[in-house]
Amino acid sequence: MIRTVRQLADGREIIYYDEAPHERRATDTRDLPSVAASSEIRRDPLSGEWVAMAAHRQTRTYKPPADLCPLCPTKPGKPSEIPESDYDVVVFENRFPSFSQHVTGESGSVDGMGLVPTAPGRGRCDVVCFTSDHNGSFATLGPRRVRTVVDAWADRTESMSTLEGVAQVFPFENRGEEIGVTLSHPHGQIYAYPFVTPKTQRMLDVARAYRAEHGRPVLGDVLDAERKSGARVIVDSTHWTAFVPPAARWPVQVLLVPRRQVPDIPALSGAERDDFAEVYLEVLRRCDALYDRPLPYIAAWNQAPVQIDRELGWLHLELFSILRAKDKLKYLAGSESGMAVWINDATPEQIADRLRAVR
């Protein structure tokens, strides 16, 4: 992989990840205003969770026509976020970031009373374009391209982990309008949070308690049990196992877990990265065949925090979808949204059977 760093017209960083040598000399000719991020985080005094306020994102790009897609390569008379006329994988700073290194301000509290702590939303948000093909998808990438994407995730995780104030790095992909995607070009994002996310903190607390009681990592025991049972396993390879979690919340939900405990993507070996490409593409093909249509999904990498509890983390990818039938969505109703108590219309075993039955 060949890495080339350039700058966009407003000073944002853009990084090309090429599979063969390319001269990346194209310049961004657009007249862009400086990025003005005003993110703030506030801690909910009732839950103890941090919430981000990013009002400047109201003006972000929303469902542009295909010929004006900002993630396609630049064409004559149609400049985009990528100045080059073609690319393999490219990453750039989000123009409308939820978190930014350019945020100013000091920590304090709402109304100065101390009840609701506040702080600048200092971090970073990157956009990851998986291919220059506007009509493609992650599932249509070849294994080599997926490996390039994995290497880009690893490179960005390492770099973002060194930024001031960053506590956790989260690569993810949202796919499909039903999920809320407003740019249809195949892409994902990477958030560098200034705090450990609530979900990760809960998982770390469970992992810590389980290790204290059993002396072993909880995800390791879950992985061993799933492989032994096989009832929910979708793909089992040399380095990875993909299975429906035994307490699945979503109508379609798959965990991809490496056999070896590693804290994050940079810690994966070359063989583990190559094997992931094959396993993930198999899972995505099955997901798209499930309802004979592209499956809307969120694919979320669970990585250990940057500085704390890294020995408790076990890297894994969680893919889930709100589609419960070809033309039916699972809406989060009162129990899920109000009390975070999930009610699934299918058992994990049924979900696994359906995914194994299609190809």
pTM value?
A: 0.96
- 185 marked as part of a ligand binding site: yes
Task: State how far the Cα of 266 lies from the Cα of 258, in Å rounded to an integer.
Answer: 13
- DSSP assignment of 174-227: EESGGGT-S--SSEEEEEEESS--HHHHHHHHHHHHHHHHHSS-HHHHHHHHHH
Q: Which CATH class is domain 2-196?
A: alpha beta
Q: Tokens in use for 242?
A: 């993909």
- 239 marked as part of a ligand binding site: no
The reported pLDDT for the residue numbered 59 is 64
Q: What is the pLDDT of residues 264-281, one digit of tens each?
A: 999 999 999 999 999 999
- 72 marked as part of a ligand binding site: yes
- 69 marked as part of a ligand binding site: yes
Which of 22, 56, 187, 214 is labelled catalytic? Answer: 187
The reported pLDDT for the residue numbered 295 is 97
The reported pLDDT for the residue numbered 58 is 61
Extract the runs of DSSP E, i.e. beta strands, from 13-100: 13-18, 40-43, 50-53, 89-93
Number of helices (H), then strands (E), in the chain: 6, 17
The reported pLDDT for the residue numbered 152 is 98
- Give me the architecture of the 199-357 domain, per CATH: 2-Layer Sandwich (3.30)
Contact indicator for 265, 274 with CB cutoff of 8 Å:
no
φ, ψ at 152 (rounded to 5°): -65, -45
The reported pLDDT for the residue numbered 66 is 82
Q: Where in the chain is the domain with CATH 3.30.428.10?
A: 2-196, 199-357
Low pLDDT (below 70) residues in the chain: 56-60, 62
Does 187 participate in catalysis according to the annotation? yes
